[in-house]
Amino acid sequence: MIRSMTGFGHAGFAVEEQSFEAEVRSVNHRHLDVRVRLPHGLTAFEGEVRQLVAERLDRGKVDLSVHAVAGATSGEAIALDLAAAEQYLRAARELRERHGVPGELDVRGLLGLPGVARVVERVLPEENLRRALAGGVGAALDGLAAMRAAEGASIERDLRARLARVEAIVADVESRAADVQRAVRDRLRKRAEQLRDETGLLDEARLHQEIVFAADRLDITEETVRLHSHVAQFRTIVDAAGPGQPAGRRLDFLLQEMGREINTIGSKGNDAPIAHQVVELKTELERLREQVQNVE
């Protein structure tokens, strides 16, 4: 089954008392282009996160971000220097008792004094961080993969329907081309017979040569055979597509080859109905190309 390159995934995870959210979204791109944004404390694992993405996805522009949940327990803590606090209290008491300095040193005032309290970052075990981050990112990638698979299934249905339409139009072109060739042969022979009636001359060898030449100019057998072959290859690639088997680039190449054959048919056709059918083929080809641009 083919996969789309467009999708979104989300998952939450926690490391002890800290909660995080992982989000990943992707859009179409010629290659795998990954951008990772991690909060302070997790940046050391960026390489591992990129590897997780590369193991799951083959193509697409991927934005993956991890952020702390607002309102969750902070990764910071308050450290108190009780010795410094006691020194401040002794100094305040001495100023009050020995020097008559009025006033009281309360908790609020004490915590505002230099050296009494400071903010420190809580250090979490590295292996716990690595394991939780990998689980959260993996769950977000699961959601992304599910969305890409669902959209890919929709694209695949449309591709198969349009391929069937292309085959039907090509069959009509083949039938019409055979009629055109017969009409050209009949017209050439009729003209030759008119010339014979008027002049009494008829060069059968020359007539045969002209008929063969005209038929060759109008012959689109090679082009239609290659078109049928390209359509068959297209279906084979779609059938085999899946994780580790990206199909988008190969399908795009086949569409380019199909376009060349259709252009040649248009230049050889020399017939209004065939010209109209060629326009229909080009329209279907463009719609196929638009869909394939989003196939992984």
Task: For 154-205, write each residue's pLDDT tens digit.
Answer: 999 999 999 999 999 999 998 888 777 776 676 767 776 665 665 666 556 6
Give the model's pLDDT for residue 176.
86
Give the model's pLDDT for residue 216.
61
Beta bridge partners of 121: 76
Q: Which of 31-40, 98-107, 199-208 has the highest mean pLDDT?
A: 31-40
The residue ranking higher by pLDDT, 130 or 180, is: 130
Give the model's pLDDT for residue 211.
60
User: Average pLDDT for residues 224-234, to the nearest whole number?
Assistant: 95
Task: For 85-105, write each residue's pLDDT tens digit.
Answer: 788 888 888 878 777 778 777
DSSP state of 58: S
Instruction: Assign 114 a pLDDT band (cuts: 50, 70, 90).
Output: confident
For the domain made up of 7-73+126-148, the CATH class stated in words is alpha beta
User: Average pLDDT for residues 2-29, to the nearest whole number?
Assistant: 94
By DSSP bridging, strand 32-37 and strand 18-27 are: unpaired
Give the H/E segment covering residue 21: strand 18-27
Q: What is the pTM of this model?
A: 0.71
Answer whether residue 263 shows pLDDT above 80: yes
Give the model's pLDDT for residue 28.
94
The DSSP secondary structure of 74-120, one letter per residue, reads: PSEEEEE-HHHHHHHHHHHHHHHHHH-------HHHHHTSTTTEEEE
Beta bridge partners of 61: 27, 33
The residue ranking higher by pLDDT, 47 or 103, is: 47
The residue ranking higher by pLDDT, 121 or 221, is: 221
Residue limits of CATH 3.30.230 in the chain: 7-73+126-148
